[in-house]
Amino acid sequence: MTFSAFLFQALNGLSTASGLFFIAVGLSLIFGVSRIINIAHGSLYMLGTYIAYTFATHIDGGLGYWGGIVATALIVGVLGALIEIVLLRRIYRAPELFQLLATFALVLVINDATLWLWGPEDLLGPRAPGLRGAIEVFGRQLPSYDLFLIFIGPLVLILLHFALARTRFGRLVRAATQDREMVGALGVNQAVLFTSVFALGALLAGLGGALQVAREPANLATDLVAIGDAFVVVVVGGMGSISGAYLAAVIIAEVKALCIGIGVVDFGFVTVNFSKFTLVAEFLVMAAVLIARPYGLLGKPQAAVRSIAEPEEPIRPATPMLKTLAVIVLALLMCLPLLAQSSPYLLILGIDVLIAVIFATSLHFIMGPGGMHSFGHAAYFGLGAYGAALLVKWLGAPMGIALLVAPLAALAGALLFGWFAVRLSGVYLAMLTLAFAQIVWAAVFQWEGFTGGSNGVIGVWPPPPFDKSWVFFVLTLLLAIAAVLLLRRLLFAPFGYAMRAGRDSVLRAEAIGIDVKRVHWLAFAIAGGICGVAGGLFAFAKGSISPETISVGRSIDGLVMVLLGGIQTLTGPIVGASLYALLQDTVMRQTEYWRALLGIIILVLVLAFPQGIVGAAAHLFGKRRAP
């Protein structure tokens, strides 16, 4: 590549960086004040593109396009304010996980609403009036619109910086970022402050989305892609730093642009297509930054958010009653194959439930006792599923080998990602794990030649005798029992205690010689490995695997299962997974808009039990208000 081509790509990267900046900065601002990671921020961005498309195509000329962009930003800002007032305001005091879940429910609802309003087709807007041309830069044609984008990012950065540094609103935002309760105690109406910050963040996301209308088609998958990108930008730039957000956006956009710019390079002995490495490059940038600066380039360690979750009871061995119950349930499950003749679907459902149990139990292992709120457990499910399926596809491996490799592939992935994840905590960890899962998903999607891309891998059927569903059911049952008992045993052993010690108090654990990061890393890897078993079983149970089945949705399914059952009990994930899998199989598949339905169910749960379901039960049966 010539030097001028290199510079040209760099310019291109700058225009992409502006888009990344708009979405990341709003996310960061909102988190700073409200301490809520708004996963629906990507959805607001997506809505921006759709709404701007509608304006631009229904009103002619500059007014429809440019006026439409301004109107879109305002509309999305108002929508953000409404979301804050109607939903988030009610859950500020709820446990962090519930807040994340609520905003994810919004993602589902907004996605289906968009599908309903605009349909499933990609919609490409018109080119921007007045900026349709291109100018010549370094001997190439740079669209004038891209040049406009290059400047608008820094312009907004400067405006925001000025507003935060010099105005009373900015001072209040900075103060509330640190201690919102104290700001209230000094006579500041926090509700107004929160709503306005949320509206501002949403407005920026809407603006960012609207500005893309001339460059990229409005697409229903934008929401999660955008939030994944935003998480990476925020983690790299440092939470709460708007300059950091721009810096990180530039770095990431540049690295991607250069990968594409370099294109196919022939090293003589091997040809490498660098444009396929954009995701790997993004990952490497993030990895490098996190090693050097765990809180991002310009970030600072955040003060721990005061935990308001219900305190946890010490763990006790199973009571005789629980043991009896477990034996009865197992006996019933063993009887299930007897019904295979009359209702074969029952066994399929049983297999689904058991796979969900392994998935949820392994997630609970790191989330509950480990305190690591992974939002990307689907990654290890996917590595297990694809590990097994690809082995069958390319090497014709027998099922036994494939099921052995599934956890090993997941374990390897969890070791790699976990190494970074355990360096963070709380919402940072949640964002990072989600970003990792997005990377696995996208890698599977992009690497078409190896993974089959969006078509996935098909024909992964179990050999006889496992082709009979009752035999496969028994295999799944045995593996599920083994996984659950193994994880439980670990929790009662010194290793499990050390993991909880690290969660309860890092300071104290380190002061008695426990290497908390190492313990948590190992735990993360073990959970990933066990989750891989679920993935491997899934591939054989369905006979196929596609990127769709390992998307963010699956990670969130896991979270809902764990929270449904109660994060503080060891049997919780088993109950939660069973309930949720049954619900999903029976109710959810009845409608095309099942995402919205799921989202609404989650919202109802969160609003009805803002203290968590376990907390609600404790309040119900508790001795509150006793004199």
Partner 1 sequence: MSELMLTVENLSAWYGAARILYDLNFNVGRGEVVALMGRNGAGKSTTMKAIMGLIAERQGVVTFNGGDISRLKPFEIARRGLGFTPEDRRIFVDLTVMENLDIGRQPPRNFPDGTPAPSWTPSSLFKLFPNLAEMPQRLGYRMSGGEQQMLTVARTLMGNPLLVLLDEPSEGVAPLIVEQMANTIVELKKEGLSILLSEQNIHFARLVSDRVYVLEKGQIHWQGSMTDLADNLDIQRAYLTV
Partner 2 sequence: MSVLEVRALSKAFGGVRAVNDVAFVVEPGEFLAMIGPNGAGKSTCFNMINGQLAPDSGEILLEGKNIAGLAPRAIWRLGVGRTFQVAATFGSMTVVENVQMALLSHAGEIYRFWRPVAQMHRVRALDLLGQVGMQDAADRPSRELAYGDVKRIELAIALANEPRLLLMDEPTAGMAPRERNELIALVKRLVVERGVSVLFTEHSMDVVFAYADRIIVLARGRVIADGNAAAIRDNAKVREVYFGTGKTFAGAAS
Sites of contact with partner 2 (CB under 8 A): 311-315, 317, 489-490, 492-498, 500-501, 503-505, 507-515, 519, 522
Nearer to partner 2, 494 or 622 (CB): 494
216: partner contacted, choices partner 2, partner 1, none (Cβ within 5-8 A by kind): none
Q: In the complex, what is the shortest distance from the CB of residue 23 to partner 2, in angstroms, rounded to a whole number?
A: 33
CB-CB contact of 405 with 533 (8 Å): no
177: partner contacted, choices partner 2, partner 1, none (Cβ within 5-8 A by kind): partner 1
| Of residues 592, 587, 576, the one with CA closest to residue 359 | 576
Q: Rounded distance, CA 432 to CA 416, Å?
A: 13
Q: In the complex, what is the shortest distance from the CB of residue 559 to partner 1, in angstroms, rounded to a whole number?
A: 24
181: partner contacted, choices partner 1, partner 2, none (Cβ within 5-8 A by kind): partner 1
Nearer to partner 1, 84 or 146 (CB): 84
500: partner contacted, choices partner 2, partner 1, none (Cβ within 5-8 A by kind): partner 2
Nearer to partner 2, 425 or 584 (CB): 425
Q: In the complex, what is the shortest distance from the CB of residue 353 to partner 2, in angstroms, rounded to a whole number?
A: 28
Nearer to partner 1, 182 or 478 (CB): 182
Helix, strand, coil % in the chain, rounded to nearest 5: 75, 5, 20
Nearer to partner 1, 192 or 328 (CB): 192
**Cα 282-69-221 angle, rounded to 5 deg:** 40
**What residues contact residue 619 under an 8 Å CB cut-off, 6+ apart?**
611
Q: In the complex, what is the shortest distance from the CB of residue 361 to partner 2, in angstroms, rounded to a whole number?
A: 16
Q: Rounded distance, CA 566 to CA 576, Å?
A: 8
DSSP string, 139-198: TEEEEHHHHHHHHHHHHHHHHHHHHHHHSHHHHHHHHHHHHHHHHHHTT--HHHHHHHHH
Strands 140-143, 264-266: pairing is unpaired
Q: Rounded distance, CA 206 to CA 175, Å?
A: 26
Nearer to partner 2, 318 or 474 (CB): 318
Q: Which residues bind partner 1 (CB under 8 A)?
A: 93, 168, 171-172, 174-175, 177-179, 181-190, 310, 618-619, 622-626
CB-CB contact of 540 with 403 (8 Å): yes
178: partner contacted, choices partner 2, partner 1, none (Cβ within 5-8 A by kind): partner 1
497: partner contacted, choices partner 2, partner 1, none (Cβ within 5-8 A by kind): partner 2
315: partner contacted, choices partner 1, partner 2, none (Cβ within 5-8 A by kind): partner 2
Q: In the complex, what is the shortest distance from the CB of residue 291 to partner 2, in angstroms, rounded to a whole number?
A: 17
Q: In the complex, what is the shortest distance from the CB of residue 65 to partner 1, in angstroms, rounded to a whole number?
A: 40
**What residues contact residue 166 under an 8 Å CB cut-off, 6+ apart?**
none
- Longest Cα–Cα distance of the chain, Å, equals 83
Q: In the complex, what is the shortest distance from the CB of residue 618 to partner 2, in angstroms, rounded to a whole number?
A: 14
Nearer to partner 1, 181 or 548 (CB): 181
Q: In the complex, what is the shortest distance from the CB of residue 488 to partner 2, in angstroms, rounded to a whole number?
A: 11
CB-facing half-sphere around the CA of 437: CA atoms within 13 A: 28
